[in-house]
């Protein structure tokens, strides 16, 4: 197939971590023998007109390249740009929801703007059963496909060379992601302080950085390119993702692939792949439970072979093949 991938998040030199998870999907689709063209936004911030530009670029690419299917990531605005491109090329649209785009549907305006995308798509994919259920509640009769982006089992392999650990002491806890309220990073730092041992490193940046600076045993690395993430995970004992809500939980899955135990939230997708042998699930709203989860996770083995086994069920190659099958069905139905 010729696949036009449309997304509002794509990594560039200025924003190397922006939508980096889609690079693996494109690579795996190409490995399966498909051709993939990309129309994307590759920077954070900027005027809202960039979304109109995305739609223009997507339509132009569709007319020039003549894809068999348009594959849009995020319901809106990328989904709307993808719908315009699909109509211009007279091909089916498949759209994938990732999380924030579904949360945004609580606002009436975005729910209305997203409706044509959902109704116009040949298939709608959600990255977890948890997310699919929430999306389906907004649109009567919608039945989502469930498929995640998976983890690169070669990139996140047990033989990765560890990064130099800046905070030092074991047990070494790591949190990878934006330093924002939804990620519960302050709650994690407070729980670590109550635990009273080890070290905690944050890889990522955001508005709550100042609330984490200067804490004993806590190090802030900032944003790093996606290709540097495996070495940081390889250096830790436990990966922590106690988000207030996590529609899927890719960072936890990547850590499991590296044979690392995880502490992950009960609110979202992680219960669908974190087994008791691979990590500890925790209510993110319970501070005492979070401290106890950190302690319990340190009792799991390092390396954790069971975590790798669980992660292998979500290998990127396997998930890309499942997505390709969804795209192929959309093309066959259109034909």
pLDDT digits (tens, 9 = 90+) for 96-142: 999 999 999 988 899 999 999 999 999 999 999 999 999 999 999 99
Predicted confidence (pLDDT) at residue 247 exceeds the cutoff of 70: yes
The count of other CB atoms within 10 Å of the CB of residue 282 is 26
Predicted confidence (pLDDT) at residue 307 exceeds the cutoff of 80: yes
Provide the β-strand partners of residue 293.
none
Contact criterion met (CB below 8 Å) for 55 and 80: yes
- How far apart, in whole angstroms, are the C-alpha atoms of residue 149 and residue 254? 11
Predicted confidence (pLDDT) at residue 166 exceeds the cutoff of 80: no
- CATH assignment of 172-312, among 3.40.50.20, 3.40.50.1100, 3.40.50.10790, 3.40.50.2000: 3.40.50.2000
Predicted confidence (pLDDT) at residue 283 exceeds the cutoff of 90: yes
Look up the CATH number of domain 2-150+315-334. Answer: 3.40.50.2000
Predicted confidence (pLDDT) at residue 149 exceeds the cutoff of 90: yes
- pLDDT (tens digit, 9 = 90+) per residue, 254-264? 999 999 999 99
What's the mean pLDDT in 256-280? 98
Provide the β-strand partners of residue 125.
96, 145
- How far apart, in whole angstroms, are the C-alpha atoms of residue 231 and residue 136? 38
What are the residue boundaries of the structural domains of the chain, listed by start? Answer: 2-150+315-334, 172-312
Predicted confidence (pLDDT) at residue 335 exceeds the cutoff of 70: no
Environment class of residue 211 by beta-carbon count within 10 Å: exposed (0-12), middle (13-18) or buried (19+)?
A: middle
Strands 261-265 and 279-282: parallel
Does the global pTM surpass 0.85? yes
E strands in 209-260: 218-222, 238-241
Predicted confidence (pLDDT) at residue 81 exceeds the cutoff of 70: yes
- How far apart, in whole angstroms, are the C-alpha atoms of residue 318 and residue 105? 30
Confidence band, pLDDT 50/70/90 cuts, at residue 314: very high
For residue 133, give the nearest of 144, 122, 120 by alpha carbon. Answer: 144
What's the mean pLDDT in 26-32? 96
What's the mean pLDDT in 274-282? 98
Backbone φ and ψ of 176, nearest 5°: -115, 120
Asked whether the domain spanning 172-312 has the same topology as the one spanning 2-150+315-334, the reply is yes
Predicted confidence (pLDDT) at residue 206 exceeds the cutoff of 90: yes
The sheet carrying 123-126 orders its strands as 35-40, 2-7, 69-73, 93-97, 123-126, 145-146
Provide the β-strand partners of residue 126.
97, 146
E strands in 44-92: 69-73
Contact criterion met (CB below 8 Å) for 120 and 91: no
């Amino acid at each position: 197939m010729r696949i036009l991938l449309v997304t509002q998040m794509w990594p560039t030199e200025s924003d190397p971590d922006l939508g980096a998870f889609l690079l693996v999907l494109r690579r795996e689709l190409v490995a399966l023998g498909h051709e993939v063209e990309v129309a994307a936004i590759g920077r954070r911030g900027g005027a809202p007109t960039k979304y109109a530009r995305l739609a223009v670029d997507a339509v132009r690419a569709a007319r020039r390249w003549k894809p068999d299917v348009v594959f849009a990531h995020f319901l809106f605005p990328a989904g709307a740009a993808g719908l315009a491109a699909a109509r211009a090329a007279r091909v089916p649209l498949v759209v994938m929801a990732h999380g924030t785009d579904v949360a945004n549907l609580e606002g009436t305006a975005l729910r209305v703007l997203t409706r044509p995308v959902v109704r116009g798509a040949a298939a709608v994919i959600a990255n977890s059963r948890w997310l699919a259920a929430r999306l389906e509640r907004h649109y009567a009769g919608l039945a989502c496909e469930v498929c995640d982006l998976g983890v690169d089992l070669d990139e996140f392999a047990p033989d990765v060379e560890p990064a130099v650990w800046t905070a030092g002491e074991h047990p070494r806890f790591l949190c990878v992601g934006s330093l924002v309220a939804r990620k519960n990073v302050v709650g994690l730092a407070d729980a670590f302080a109550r635990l009273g041992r080890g070290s905690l490193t944050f890889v990522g940046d955001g508005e709550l950085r100042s609330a984490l600076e200067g804490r004993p045993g806590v190090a802030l690395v900032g944003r790093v390119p996606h290709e540097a993430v495996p070495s940081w995970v390889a250096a830790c004992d436990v990966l922590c993702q106690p988000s207030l809500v996590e529609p899927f939980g890719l960072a936890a899955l990547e850590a499991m692939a590296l044979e690392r135990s995880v502490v992950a939230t009960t609110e979202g997708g992680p219960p669908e792949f974190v087994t008791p042998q691979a990590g500890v699930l925790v209510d993110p709203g319970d501070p005492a439970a979070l401290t106890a989860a950190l302690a319990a996770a340190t009792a799991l083995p390092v390396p954790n072979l069971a975590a790798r086994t669980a992660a292998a069920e979500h290998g990127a190659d396997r998930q890309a093949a499942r997505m390709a099958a969804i795209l192929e069905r959309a093309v066959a139905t259109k034909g």
